[in-house]
Structure 1
């Protein structure tokens, strides 16, 4: 396997490069308090999609800042309640996907909640209201404003709020809720379990949004991370504010949230991933203090990992 990143023996001890703000914990404690104070105004609308063994809904709730957030919600009608549930998160710029790809879990007695991220490809709102650049990219949205205006702060909170809503559904056992996602979804899975520590099991596949400074130093600020390069070229061409920029990005760096996780973790990484470099993923994994397992795919990048979906389902069945 050709190496473009650290060797595996170095990856397993790598602790990340992006700085952690001194007030990081206070920042997120304040954010959680803000989220809990929101009147969610939950609304369920029956979907036009139907299957005999489940009830399907479009779920809407109000998140921080007043944005209405959409999620697909499917609950089995053939099992006893309360039953387990999983919350699912999608890749960058996409949406919650088709109803059909959630039915395997529903058929096994899980309720499934699949969120659309604000301002991306689904039905959730990005209400804006920030100073500075909004032309491209959610990583840098709010970077020229107060740290509380970072868009991924709001998206991370949406994940925890959805998990809490799921846990409060009368048909769901709040002690048996899991989270899962790939790429951006893998990052949001980690953020969700960090901010809603009642998540019992989580599966994160090659998570995005980790160790931004490492991405930059590897000259991989392209593809999913291209907005980092765009930001510097447009707004800080001489890198006079580089230190402050990466420090502010540290608030929305999942490696710094990972230590808050209490649930059991299953994570997958491809060592040939040039979209989300392996070292950035290990930076998050190595900070997890809870029980954890890592599945390594040496010759695979940011792509389907053969056999992992089966491994993930067996992991979640233990809920």
Structure 2
């Protein structure tokens, strides 16, 4: 098999390259406190899309810094007792997608929530307000400002807030909530379960937003990570701020959050992935302390992984 990264035995012991800020834990405790102090002002509107066995809603809530966040919410009509729920997150720049690929969980008696990330391709609001460049991406937004202004900080908090809202619904059993998503959605699945540790099961697929310095050193700051190269070329062409930049990115590096996860993890990795290199994914996986497993696809990159959607559904039946 051609190698685009480390051999598997090295991947399984790799601990990451990106710096971890000294005040990382305090940073996130402060962020969680800010999130919990927000009045979410939850609004449910019946969606135009409906199916006979479920109710479909457009759900809006207020996140940190006052942004209104949108999620699709589907709940089964026939449910005599609190039931499991899933929260789902989408890939970078995208949105929550169609309703029709989500109703399968409602048919199984699960509630299902799918969030639009603020300022990306859906309906969630980006309130802005940070200093510095916003060119070509959300990873770099806030790098020239206080770390609390990093945009992915707020997006990570949105995921945890949505999970908490799901758990607060009277029809949902808060002890039986799972999370899932691919690429950016895989990263947000990990962040969500780290910041809301009641998430019981999580199925991240080739997670993004991990081990930025490793991506840079592999010369893979392109595609989804192109904004890193653009940032240095335009704002630090001699890399005089390199250590500062990568350390600040450490606040929104999912490998540094992964150790907080308490739920069971099943992660999918394509070993030919040149968008989110396998080593960056294993940097996060290797820090998870809860029960975990991985599904390898040796010949696959950042693409559909045959059979993994079925594996995920079977995994979530264990909620």
> TM bucket by the smaller chain?
over 0.9
**Secondary structure of 2:81's match?**
coil
1:40 aligns with 2:40: yes
1:178 aligns with 2:182: no
Aligned to 2:204: 204
Query: How far off is 1:282 after superposition?
Result: 0.3
Query: How far off is 1:81 after superposition?
Result: 2.4
Unaligned 5+ runs, structure 2 = none
List, as ranges, runs of 4+ consecutive aligned residues in structure 1 with deviation greater than 2 Å: none
Aligned to 1:64: 64
Deviations 1:39-80 (A, max 9, x none): 100000110001000011000000000000000000000232
**Secondary structure of 2:49's match?**
coil
1:72-87 equivalences in 2 (<5 Å): 72-87=72-87
**Secondary structure of 2:142's match?**
coil
Aligned to 1:157: 157
Query: 2 CA distance for matches of 1:37 and 1:4?
Result: 45
Query: 1 CA distance for matches of 2:134 and 2:227?
Result: 11
Superposition CA RMSD, Å:
0.5
Contact 2:119 2:125 in 1 (8 A): yes
Aligned to 1:93: 93
Contact 2:147 2:251 in 1 (8 A): yes
Query: 1 CA distance for matches of 2:90 and 2:302?
Result: 14
1:52 aligns with 2:52: yes
1:287 aligns with 2:287: yes
| Residue-pair matches, total | 319
1:21-36 equivalences in 2 (<5 Å): 21-36=21-36
Query: 2 CA distance for matches of 1:4 and 1:146?
Result: 36
Deviations 1:228-274 (A, max 9, x none): 00000000000000000000000000000000000000100000000
**Secondary structure of 2:173's match?**
strand
Unaligned 5+ runs, structure 1 = none
Contact 2:156 2:188 in 1 (8 A): yes
Query: 2 CA distance for matches of 1:200 and 1:14?
Result: 26
Deviations 1:145-190 (A, max 9, x none): 0000000000000000000000000000001000000000000000
Aligned to 2:192: 192
**Secondary structure of 1:113's match?**
strand
Aligned to 1:227: 227
Query: How far off is 1:103 after superposition?
Result: 1.0
**Secondary structure of 1:101's match?**
coil
1:113-132 equivalences in 2 (<5 Å): 113-132=113-132
Query: 2 CA distance for matches of 1:55 and 1:3?
Result: 47
Aligned to 2:110: 110
**Secondary structure of 2:101's match?**
helix
Query: 2 CA distance for matches of 1:131 and 1:318?
Result: 45
Q: Please, what TM-score do these two structures have when normalized by structure 2? A: 0.99
Q: Please, what TM-score do these two structures have when normalized by structure 1? A: 0.99
Deviations 1:269-314 (A, max 9, x none): 0000000000000000000000001001110000111111111101
Query: 2 CA distance for matches of 1:102 and 1:40?
Result: 24
**Secondary structure of 1:192's match?**
helix
Query: How far off is 1:135 after superposition?
Result: 2.3
Aligned to 2:214: 214
Aligned to 2:15: 15
